[in-house]
Amino acid sequence: MAGPSLQTKKRLLFILVVFTIGVFVLIGKLAYLQIVQSDELQKMAFEQQNTSRTISPRRGTIYDRNGKELAISASVDTISVRPGEIKSSGKNLELIAQKLAELLEMDKEAVYKKITKDSSYEILKRKVEKETGDAIRKWVQEEKIKGINIDEDTKRYYPGRNLAAHIIGFTGADNQGLENGIEIVMEKYLKGVPGKILSEVDARQREIPFNTEKRIEAQDGLNVILTIDETIQYIVQRELEKAIEDNKVMKGAVGIVMDPRNGDILALVSKPDFDLNDPYAAPPGYEPEAWVGNTTEGVDILRKTVWRNRAVVDTYEPGSTFKAITTSAALEENIITPETMVNDYPVEIGGWTMRCWRASPHGVETFRQAVYNSCNPVFIKLAQELGIDKFYGYMRAFGFYEKTGIDLLGEQTGIIHQKPTEVDMAAASFGQRFTITPIQLITAYTAIANDGKLMKPRLVKELTDSEGNIVKKFEPEVIRTVISKETAQTVREILEGVVSEGTGKNAYVKGYRVAGKTGTSQTTEQGVYTASFCSFAPADNPSICVLVALFDPKGESHMGGAIAAPVAGKIIEDTLSYLGVERRYSEQDKEMMVEEVFVPDVRNKTINEAVKSLKEFGLEYKVEGESNGENVVVEQTPKPDASVPKKSIVVLYTYKPEEEKMVTVPSVLNMTVSEATDILKKAGLNIRVSGTGRAYKQSVAPGEEVVAGKVIEVEFRELDNIE
C-alpha cells in the first residue's frame, strides 16, 4: 500500500506549523493576561463587580491658643444615586426625580438626567443639611426605593464669621483649603484620609441580593492650634473698625499684636475683611444683585479687595516708625548717646535740602529729645556717620531684605535700594524712599523689645489628634541677635519717652509703661498718607508689640501721632488688662486719675441726709424742687449704683417728676479738661475723661437733649507736636 503523497505530507506539515504557532500565540496571550495585565484586569473586574462611595474624613479643627474653636466641621450629607439600580426597580422615575428635586431644591430635569444616566454612580448634591438628608432617608425607606445613597459628609463652619479671616482662610466644595490662610498652609495635616463604602453589583450595576457592604473608615485630619488669642483678635478688630470710621480711612488698615519673647502672633487684622462662611459675597462698593460671585472676574476682584491680607502682602513707606532702627544702629555703633547734644538744622545732600517735619526747627537738644520730637535731620546725620555699608547692613540684620517666614502664603518683601546713594540713605534714615510690609516692621521691633533677639513670627503652636494628644510642636525660633541687650534697653527707655513726652503722647495708658514711635508717610499719590504707630509694653519688660497702620485717612488728621497712636494705646490697655498684667501707677498717672464711684441710693432720705451720704462718696448735688433740708428726696439722677467719676453732680428731686429734667449738651470740642468739665457742670452734666490734651470727641453730639446729670464721655488728644 502506497504511503501519503508528498503533497499530503506538505499539507500536514503546514497544518502542524500553523497549529503550533497558534498554540504558542494563545500561550503567550494567556501569559500576557495572567502576568503583565493581571493587576489591571483584576482592578477592572473589581470595579465592574463592585461600586464604591467615598466617606469624607472630618477635617481637623482650628483652635486659638486657648482652645476656642475658630474653624470646625459640621455634619452634613452627600446624596448620590446608582442609576442602574433605580431604573431596574420598576418605580416611576418621573415621580422619583420630582421628589428628589423638591427635597434637594434642584431642577427636576437635572435630577432626572442623573438618575437615568448610563453610569454606575452619580452624585446629586453635596453638603446637604442633616435635616434634608434625614427626610430623604425616611422617604426612601417608606417607599422602598433602591439605588439612592445618603452618606455622611462634613461642611466647614466658622463661628467667628469674619474674625481672623485672613489668618484662617477658607475651604472649597471638596473641603480643600483655598487662598492664603492656615486652611491651605496646613492642608496636609487638616484634610485627613477619605474612606470608602464598597458594594457588590451585577453587570447592570444592581446590588447583588444579600450583599454586605464593606466599609473602610476615613481617617480624620489633625487639629491645628494657633498662637492667635480670640479675645485679643476681637480687641484689635473692634478698635480698627472704630478707627476706620472715625478717621474716614479709605484704603484699609492693619493691626498686629505679637509676643516679642517667642514671636507668637496674638492677633493679626487686615481691613477690609470678609465672612468666612460666605467668602464669595459681594465686597463693599459692589451691588449684591449684580455681583458676579464665584467667577474668574469675581475672584480677581475679591483677591484685590477683601481677601487681600495687607499685613503680609501690602508694602508701604514706614516713615518715622523706622527711626527706632536708625537709633538702634547708632547706639550699637557708639556713634551717639542719649544725652549727646544735637541739632535739627536743615541738611544739604545732593542738591536736596532736608528739614525737620515741623515748620520751625526744634534747635539744639539732646539726642533723646530729638527722638521724642522725631527730628529728621538728626537721623540723616546719624546715617552719614554710620556710612552706607553699615546703615544698610543693619537694615538687612533687622530683616527688611527678606521675608519673615510667617505661616501664610503670598508674603511679599518691600523695595529697598540695591545700590543706594547718599540721598537714598538720608531719606531712608527717617523711613522714606523704600517700602516694607507691616509684618516686617513689627518683627524688627521684637529685636528691640527682646534684648536684641529677632524672632520669627509664629502662627501655629502645635498639632493634635482627635484625642487631644500632641502630634507635632512648632517651637519658637530666634532668627539672629541684631543688637546688644544694653542697646535694646536704652532704645526701649528712649521710646518710652516718645509716649510720655514726645510725638506718641496719645498712646499713653495710665498704669502701663508704653514705648513706641509714630510715623506719617506720604505715598506716591498726592494727598494719600499712611498713619502708623509701632510700640511695645510694658516698656521695661515687654510682653506685647503692637502695630497699627491706617492707609489713606481722610478725616481731620492724617498724622500717625494723632490717629494711629490712640488706637494702639487702646489695644495695649485692653490687651494687657485681659492678660492680667498688673498696672503700676506713676505719680503722673495718679495726678491724672479720676476715681470712679457708685452712686448711693438716697431716695426716701431727707435732703440733709442725702447730701451727707453723697459727700461721703465724693459726689456733689443739685436740688430740683423745694430745697428745705428736711424735704424728702423722691427721685434722683443718676440712678442708684450707676458708676460715675468723683465730684459728679447728682440731681435730687423733692417731687415725682412727670418727666426727668432735660438739658442741652454743649460743645466742648478743642477745650482743655478743666474747661470742658466746667462747661458741662454748668449745663448740669457730668464728664468722664479719657486721654490728655484737648477735647477731640464727645459721646453725645452738641445740641442734643439728655437727662440732667448724664455722664458725657469726652476723649482728649494731644494735637500739638504730633507727627
* Residues carrying an active site annotation: 320
What 3-state DSSP class applies to 65?
A: coil
What's CA 43's distance to the chain center, in Å?
Answer: 48
Residues whose CB falls within 8 Å of the CB of residue 665, separated by 6 or more in sequence, listed in order: 683, 685, 698, 700, 701, 702, 703, 704, 705, 706, 712
Residue 386 one-letter amino acid: L
HSE (CB half, 13 Å, CA atoms) of 286? 15
Instruction: Encode 289-318: b = buried (16+ Cβ within 10 Å), e = exposed.
Output: eeeeeeeeebbebbeebbbbbbbbbbbbbb
Q: How many CB atoms lie within 10 A of CB 347?
A: 18
Q: Which residue has the cell 468722664?
A: 688
Strands 223-226, 62-63: parallel, antiparallel or unpaired by DSSP? parallel
223-226 vs 694-698, strand pairing mode: unpaired
CA distance 56 to 281: 26
CB 76 within 8 A of CB 154: yes
Report residue 581 as a C-alpha cell: 498684667
For the chain, the residue count is 723
What nine digits make up the cell of 501? Answer: 513726652
- φ/ψ of 710, rounded to 5, equals -60, 145
- Residue 172, phi-psi category: left (phi > 0), alpha (psi -120 to 50), beta (remainder): beta
- Cα gap 488→126, rounded to integer Å: 56
Q: Which of left, alpha, beta for 434 (phi over 0: left; psi -120 to 50: alpha)?
A: beta
Position 501, amino acid: E
Contact 445, 548 (CB under 8 A): no
**Residues near 628 by beta carbon (within 8 Å), at least 6 away in sequence:** 607
Contact 441, 324 (CB under 8 A): no
